[in-house]
Every structure is written in structure tokens, then in C-alpha cells.
Chains A and B, each alone.
Chain A
């Protein structure tokens, strides 16, 4: 009975001991192997670097890949050189990277990468090759990415999208747009990747404004806004009558971005749209197209039912505060509470309150200034008044507080207390 325990336990012990020894060995081997691999990676990169410099010195056209490295540039090496990532790696600065690319990224190399993307059984190899195709930045790489970007495998599709984002050509943009159609999840990402593409991209994008999917239509129009859409005003004007409100709104935005006065009439028409988003966009776009001249057209929308539209009108007033003053005066003394509030906000946001308080503090304020100030304070939205007073010098502060005190004694007292607290903290103004 006694030996029985020992007989069970010792064999187990020996098995675990063997496992322990094996694990330790595995750790050590893993460490040594990793160090060696990193060492080799570094040496090969150094070889490539010196090769690149040799090229630059001798002015030779053809590039010779050094003996110690693999028969051709591996994907890993290209990624290392491009990302400069990894501990104690060999770094390639911008000019070296350029020299390197000129030397190594050849049509044959891209063809080899394309083959890897198509044929390799290892997903990692494929991803690496896809990334490298992106780094090559060459239009020739686009064909190889046509398949993967529409792949069902989300990883492959994702990396292909990123790679295409690096190849800034119209063809690549066309593919990205097709991917956009294919995978709704990646739409926003793709649209942001298209940011730095050349102007010709617009010709690809316009094709998608006739798509069946209204979301895609709207997105394509929004994208078009970034590529100087003047050429497509006619098309956009017809899109502004689209069935889908999102599309109409996007068309308005795009017309605004075109900055062309030609669009004015269409936009004025859209102000009467039934949808709040379209109206909002139309207000903002009209301002972009016509500037202050848009005020008479949009100002009546301040009593619109949707706060978003009212907000847009307020923004227009804010950017053209001088021209809006007659309207604001009317609103502030009027009955419409919402118009009153938004007028007050426009006055504050535009910095007019600061200007006006400055005049009052210097004693130059006219009756209109006082009326506006009263309107702002009475509207209850006077968060900015305090800061505006704070920006004056001490004599100005006293005068401003006095003027405010005539309108609202409580507020004046509050501001005075806050200002003296500020002065205690930071010294007098």
C-alpha cells in the first residue's frame, strides 16, 4: 500500500520533469532562433542599404540583390523598409526609401507579388504580398488586388482596401468604389482613404451616382464634393431632385462645395424641401455659393420646425454678422423666442458681443449696441458675456459691468465676483 503512492507519483513526476526540461529547451531555442532571425534580417537590410548606395554612386541602372539575402526581395523586407518598425532595426529614411523604390520595385517584382497573392496557400504570405503591392504605389499592382478586395475573407479584403488606398490612381479608386458597393461595413473607411486621390478620380466616382443603392449614391456624391465638382453641376442639379432625401442632401452639399453661383437657383428651390436634412444642407450650401447674399433667402427659416435648420441659419448669421444685424435686431425685440435665442447665440459666437462690449466700455456704444446687449442678456444665453468682459482691461471691465448692471443687476454682481476671483488668481488685468 505504501509503495503504491510512490509508484503513481514518481512516474508522473518524471513525465513532468521531462516536460519542464523540454519547455526550458524550447524557450532557449526560441530565444536563440529569434535572435538569429533578427540578426539575419538586420544583416540583409544592411546589405540592401549598401546596395542601394552602391547604385546611387555608380549610377548603374540594374540592381543587384546581394548574395547573402534571399534570391529576391521578400515581402517581409519590403515591409520592414517601409514601416521602419521593429526593435533595433535598420532604418531607411525618406530619401533612402525613394532610392530603394527606384531600384527594386520593378514590373517583374510586382508580377511576382501578384503571383503570391493569387497562388500562395499561406494567408500570411498573401497578406504580406498585398501590403507590399500597396507600398509599391504602382498602377500595375491594381489588377492583382481586384480579386482580393472583393474577397469574402474580411482580413484579405481589409488589407487590400488599405493597399489600394496607397495607390492613388483613378483605377484604384474605381476598385475601391466597387468594394464600397460590395461591403457596406467598410464604406466610411474607403471614403476616407479616397481623400488624397488625384482629380481624375471624380470621373470614376460620378459613375456611382446612378447606382441603385441610395446610400451608395449619397456617399458617392459626398465624395465628389472633395474633387472640385464644377464639371458635374448639371448632374448634381438633377440629383438634387432625387427620391432619397439623403441623396438630395448630399447633392446640396456638393453643390455648395462647387462654389459655383450657377447652383444658386437649385439650392433656393431645395429650401422648400420637405426634409429637414435637405433644408439644412441647402441653407449651408447657399451660404457657400452666394455668401452674405444668401441671408434674405434663408433668414425666414429661422422659424422652421427643425432645430437643425434653425441652427444652420444661425451659422449663416454668425459668419455674416454685420449683414445680419438688421434681422437680429428685429428678432431680439420680436416675439419668437427661438429666433431670439439663436440670434443671441449668433452674436456671441461671431465675437460681436466682445466687440460691442468693448465699444460700450469705451463709451462709444450707441443705442443699438445697448439694445443688442440687453437682448443677449435677456435671452438667458449669456455664457459668453462673462468671458467677453474678462478680456477687457480693468477700467473697461468696470464700465462693462456697470452697463450690464443697468440691464441685469444679478448677472453684473455674479460677473464682478468671478472677475475678482480671477484677478486674485492671476493678478489684475
Chain B
């Protein structure tokens, strides 16, 4: 009995310490994030964009949009891109073996004409069928590509054609705000030598009314599945990454919107076809490479500005499959770059981000489930009393709510994206999250881990939620 009690005791202490360290870590992130967010918000509010339209300040950007069966989104996102408020940019849409109307939509808007080009293949991209230029919009190119080289291959095909030294890689279902690029590039212009990658916050477009690529009404969705995702975006973009960015320890420049310096991507060989995740792997590799090779220092930055809106899954099944994939690619990347963990060469990234990714993102779900199972088991076998179980359950619930609330607090300090009512709704959701949404995500994470362990490589980066309002008759 004493051995058993000792085991119980040890496990209990480990769990408690784990959760408390997590709480302290989050308080730290929230503090740093608030400072960083406030600084960036101030910078954004006084920034003067007019010099960016002058000759030497001007930073031309190539926007690469990989698209695979995007008929529902292509028109809106392309039209939003065409009306972007930026002095000089080109758009490269990579039609990656679409079997739906994607190409005919592109052709209708752009009036495409095939051109002869000499392709220099700096980046591995698979089979390119043909290249087309738009008659109506001279800054748009469409590359028709055979499917099969994943999204990374599609982006690489775009990189091969890209004219400018900064590339903005985005998803075909992201609708950019018209001033997004100028806001982000204004920050790049401050320190072009060191910034190699930069990302920014974006929210969910579900339930918005979009007309011709213009967001007519911002109806933030009160559907809990969507609202929870909005909350999660805040948690990861604002709650975590903003603080990491201050120490140059960003683990991911999100695939939905990210600007990279092309000469740096060239040194690295572009996106890797060996992984099913292009964004997180590239960022890890960037840290790895830059820490070893860039003497002058480098920065991968996260901005708190809202640059656009993307579509999120609107039912539980598609949410689970999306998150399972995220989990799988996170573990894949962590495994591939495990040597960076706590290696002084990589600076804050190795000490601040990697341990968090391992203990929270990868193992956290098991820690949580195991803790609950442990106290539940203890209670059922009579070793622990019911009130221990309740106390522990309450501890997890409160911690969970507390970390979310800290992120919201960081967010509302610098932003006025959501109105008061919606924030209050989110606060309410955080308090009940532990009773259901948490476990949906946990199931997804477990599934992702299993997928990883059994080496399941699906090519579903393009997997998209169906447009919510396409299904409801109007």
C-alpha cells in the first residue's frame, strides 16, 4: 500500500508542477506579448506609408497563391488581391492540378493567354504544364501544374517564376485586407537586412458577407465552433507568437499569410517536398539555417495587425481532421529538428519555443488526459477521494480558462478587431471550453499523433472546409 501511495504521490506532484510551470509560462508570454503588441500598435498608428510609394523605399512583392480545387474561394480571394493597395506587386496563381472550375474562374477574370517562358528551376516543383499571362491584368501570371508535388511544390513553382525579392505566400481561401501588404512591408522597410520572414494576425471569415472580393459585412460568427477557432487564432497569434517574436523565437509563419525574403529561401532551396507541412517546417529550417549561416543576425517577426480573413472548418468532423493534420505536421517537424532543442546556438528558439512545443503542443494532450484519467482512476479505486477528483478537475479547468483569458487581454490591449459583445461571448466560451471543445481538440491531437506514429502521409494540405453559405440555400 505504501508503494502504491508513493507512486500516486509522485505522479500527483509531477502533474501539479507541470500545470503550474505552464501557468507561469503563460503569464510571462502575456506580459511580453502585451509590451510587444502595444509597441507594434503604436508603430502602426503613427506609421507614414507615403514614402513606401516613393522609388527607393518601394519594396516590390511577389504574391504566390497555390490553388488546388478552390472554385469556391478563387474569385473572392483573387479579386481582393487585384484591388490590393500596394505600389508594386505581381500575383502568381499556381493552379495545382485542379479538377474543378478553378481554372475557368481564373480565365474568366483574368483572360489568360499562354506565353513561352524559359523556366529556371531553382526550386523543386514537379511538372509544370504551361504558364499563362493575364491580358486584363499584366501583373498576374497563372502556372498550370500537374498535381502531386504537394503544396510545397506549388509554392516552389511560383518561386521559380517570381520576379521580386520578397514573396508573400498565402492560401487561396484567405481574403486579404487591402492595406495588409503595405502595413507589413512598412515594418520590413525598417530593417530589411535582418528580417527574413514576417507573419501577421488573421481571423476567420465564416459568416462574413463577401461580395466580389470585398468584405461587405463583418458578421463575426456566434457559432461556437467558429468562435472557438477565433479564440484559438488569438491564442496562438497574439497570445504566444507575439511574445516569441520579441525574442526571435517564432515557430511558424502561418501558411495563410507570410512574407519571406526570396534570396534567403534560395539559399535554403525553397520549400521542402519531404514534408507535408510547408509553413512550420520552413520556419524551423529557417531558424536552423539562419542561426548557422547569418552572421549579421536575422529576425522572423510576428505582427499583431489584422491582415486578412480565412475560412475555418465549420463542423466538428472537418475541424478534427484539420487539427489532426496540424498536430501530425507539428510532431513531424519537431521530430525532424529535435536536435535544435536546448542547443545554445539557436538562442531563445531552443529554450523558449522548442520546450513549449514539445511539452505542451506534442505531449500536453496526453498529460491532460492522463491526469484526468489518473485522478478518476484513483477515485474509482478508492485511493483518492471524490473531492480530490473535483479539486483537480477544477484546477485544470481554471488554468485552461486563465491562459485563454490572458491571451484575450493581450489582444484587446492592442486591437479593436472585435466589438465588446463578441469579446464577452469569447470570455464566456473560455469558461466552458473545458467541458467540450477542449476534448474535441484532444481527440484530434491524439489522432494526429497516431497518424504520425504510423507514418500516414496524406496530401490534404488543400483540404478545405466547404464554404458555409454555399450549402444553405439563399
List the interface of chain A (C-beta within 8 A of B). 1-2, 5-6, 8-10, 12-13, 16-17, 19-20, 23-24, 26-28, 30-32, 34-35, 38, 79, 83, 85-87, 124, 127-128, 131, 134, 158-159, 162, 165, 185, 188-189, 191-193, 195, 383, 425
B399 lies within 8 A of chain A by Cβ: yes
Instruction: Among A6, A32, A38, find the residue whose CB has the most chain B CB atoms closer than 10 A.
Output: A6
Report whether over half of chain B's contact residues are helix, strand or loop; otherwise say mixed.
helix
Question: What CA separation (Å) do A1 and B398 show in the bound complex?
Answer: 24
* Contact in complex: A16, B427 (CB < 8 Å): no
Q: Which residues of A contact B409 (CB under 8 A)?
A: 23, 26-27, 30
* Contact in complex: B55, A2 (CB < 8 Å): no
Q: Contacting chain A: which of B93-101, B334-342, B400-408?
A: B400-408
Question: What CA separation (Å) do A87 and B417 show in the bound complex?
Answer: 9
Question: What CA separation (Å) do A204 and B12 show in the bound complex?
Answer: 76
Name the residue on B nearest A158 (C-beta).
B190
* Contact in complex: A1, B45 (CB < 8 Å): no
* Contact in complex: B420, A13 (CB < 8 Å): no
Q: Which residues of B contact A185 (CB under 8 A)?
A: 193
Given A2-B384, A5-B12, A16-B402, check contact A195 B392 (CB 8 Å): no
Q: Which of B380-430 contact A (CB under 8 A)?
A: 384-385, 387-388, 391-392, 394-395, 398-399, 401-402, 405-406, 408-409, 412-413, 416, 420, 423-424, 427
Q: Scan B5-43; emit 1 where CB is below 8 A from any A CB, else 0.
A: 100000010001000100100000000000000000010
- Min CB–CB distance B304 → chain A (angstroms): 15
Question: What CA separation (Å) do A23 and B384 show in the bound complex?
Answer: 32
Question: What CA separation (Å) do A10 and B416 show in the bound complex?
Answer: 37
* Contact in complex: B395, A9 (CB < 8 Å): yes
- Min CB–CB distance B321 → chain A (angstroms): 32
* Contact in complex: A193, B51 (CB < 8 Å): yes
* Contact in complex: B405, A131 (CB < 8 Å): no
Q: Which residues of A contact B55 (CB under 8 A)?
A: 192, 195
- Min CB–CB distance B58 → chain A (angstroms): 8
Question: What CA separation (Å) do A28 and B420 show in the bound complex?
Answer: 8
* Contact in complex: B48, A162 (CB < 8 Å): yes
Q: Which residues of A contact B42 (CB under 8 A)?
A: 124
Q: List 27 A-B contacts (CB under 8 A).
A: A1-B5, A5-B12, A5-B392, A6-B391, A9-B388, A9-B392, A13-B398, A16-B399, A20-B405, A23-B408, A26-B409, A27-B427, A30-B409, A31-B423, A32-B420, A35-B420, A87-B416, A128-B46, A162-B51, A165-B51, A185-B193, A189-B51, A189-B189, A191-B56, A192-B54, A192-B55, A193-B54
- Min CB–CB distance B421 → chain A (angstroms): 10
Q: Which residues of B contact A1 (CB under 8 A)?
A: 5
* Contact in complex: A24, B388 (CB < 8 Å): no
- Min CB–CB distance A102 → chain B (angstroms): 22
* Contact in complex: A30, B402 (CB < 8 Å): no
* Contact in complex: A13, B395 (CB < 8 Å): yes
Given A20-B398, A23-B406, check contact A79 B45 (CB 8 Å): yes
* Contact in complex: B427, A24 (CB < 8 Å): yes
* Contact in complex: A383, B51 (CB < 8 Å): no
- Min CB–CB distance A88 → chain B (angstroms): 9
* Contact in complex: B385, A19 (CB < 8 Å): no
Q: Which residues of B contact A192 (CB under 8 A)?
A: 51, 54-57
Name the residue on A nearest B411 (C-beta).
A27
* Contact in complex: A16, B116 (CB < 8 Å): no
Question: What CA separation (Å) do A134 and B401 show in the bound complex?
Answer: 46
Question: What CA separation (Å) do A195 and B16 show in the bound complex?
Answer: 64
- Min CB–CB distance B154 → chain A (angstroms): 25
* Contact in complex: B405, A189 (CB < 8 Å): no
Report whether over half of chain A's contact residues are helix, strand or loop; otherwise say mixed.
helix
* Contact in complex: A34, B20 (CB < 8 Å): no
* Contact in complex: B388, A189 (CB < 8 Å): no
* Contact in complex: B116, A383 (CB < 8 Å): yes
- Min CB–CB distance A272 → chain B (angstroms): 32
Not counting A34-B412, A195-B55, a sample of 11 additional A-B residue pairs whose C-beta atoms are within 8 angstroms of each other reads: A6-B391, A13-B398, A23-B402, A23-B408, A27-B409, A28-B424, A83-B48, A127-B46, A131-B46, A189-B189, A192-B55
Question: What CA separation (Å) do A191 and B56 show in the bound complex?
Answer: 8
Contact of B398 among A5, A17, A425 (CB under 8 A): A17
Contact of A23 among B48, B57, B405 (CB under 8 A): B405
Q: Which residues of A contact B48 (CB under 8 A)?
A: 83, 131, 134, 162
Name the residue on B nearest A426 (C-beta).
B113
Name the residue on A nearest B401 (C-beta).
A20
- Min CB–CB distance A77 → chain B (angstroms): 13
Name the residue on B nearest A159 (C-beta).
B46
Q: Which residues of B contact A26 (CB under 8 A)?
A: 409
Contact of A10 among B113, B193, B384, B391 (CB under 8 A): B391
Q: Scan B124-160; emit 1 where CB is below 8 A from any A CB, else 0.
A: 0000000000000000000000000000000000000
* Contact in complex: B402, A19 (CB < 8 Å): yes
* Contact in complex: A6, B406 (CB < 8 Å): no
Question: What CA separation (Å) do A87 and B412 show in the bound complex?
Answer: 15
Q: Which residues of B contact A30 (CB under 8 A)?
A: 409, 412-413
* Contact in complex: A27, B423 (CB < 8 Å): yes
Q: Which residues of A contact B423 (CB under 8 A)?
A: 27, 31
* Contact in complex: B394, A34 (CB < 8 Å): no
Q: Which residues of B contact A134 (CB under 8 A)?
A: 48
Q: Which residues of B contact A20 (CB under 8 A)?
A: 398, 401-402, 405
* Contact in complex: B45, A12 (CB < 8 Å): no
Q: Which residues of B contact A165 (CB under 8 A)?
A: 51
* Contact in complex: B416, A6 (CB < 8 Å): no
Contact of A195 among B5, B54, B401, B405 (CB under 8 A): B54
- Min CB–CB distance A388 → chain B (angstroms): 14
Contact of A16 among B46, B193, B384, B395 (CB under 8 A): B395
Question: What CA separation (Å) do A34 and B406 show in the bound complex?
Answer: 17
- Min CB–CB distance A9 → chain B (angstroms): 4
Given A30-B413, A31-B423, check contact A6 B54 (CB 8 Å): no
Q: Scan B172-216; emit 1 where CB is below 8 A from any A CB, else 0.
A: 000000000000000001100100000000000000000000000
Q: Which residues of B contact A28 (CB under 8 A)?
A: 424
Name the residue on A nearest B45 (C-beta).
A85
- Min CB–CB distance B315 → chain A (angstroms): 29
Name the residue on A nearest B118 (C-beta).
A383
- Min CB–CB distance A230 → chain B (angstroms): 23
- Min CB–CB distance A293 → chain B (angstroms): 31
- Min CB–CB distance B90 → chain A (angstroms): 20
Name the residue on A nearest B423 (C-beta).
A31
Q: Which residues of A contact B45 (CB under 8 A)?
A: 79, 85-86
Q: Which residues of B contact A27 (CB under 8 A)?
A: 405, 408-409, 412, 423, 427
Q: Which residues of A contact B405 (CB under 8 A)?
A: 20, 23-24, 27
- Min CB–CB distance A386 → chain B (angstroms): 8
Name the residue on B nearest A162 (C-beta).
B48
Question: What CA separation (Å) do A28 and B412 show in the bound complex?
Answer: 9
- Min CB–CB distance B230 → chain A (angstroms): 15
- Min CB–CB distance B17 → chain A (angstroms): 11
Q: Which residues of A contact B416 (CB under 8 A)?
A: 34, 38, 87
Q: Which residues of A contact B46 (CB under 8 A)?
A: 79, 127-128, 131, 159
Question: What CA separation (Å) do A6 and B54 show in the bound complex?
Answer: 66
Name the residue on A nearest B191 (C-beta).
A154
- Min CB–CB distance B246 → chain A (angstroms): 15
Q: Which residues of B contact A5 (CB under 8 A)?
A: 12, 384, 388, 391-392
Question: What CA separation (Å) do A306 and B104 show in the bound complex?
Answer: 47
Q: Scan B441-470; emit 1 where CB is below 8 A from any A CB, else 0.
A: 000000000000000000000000000000
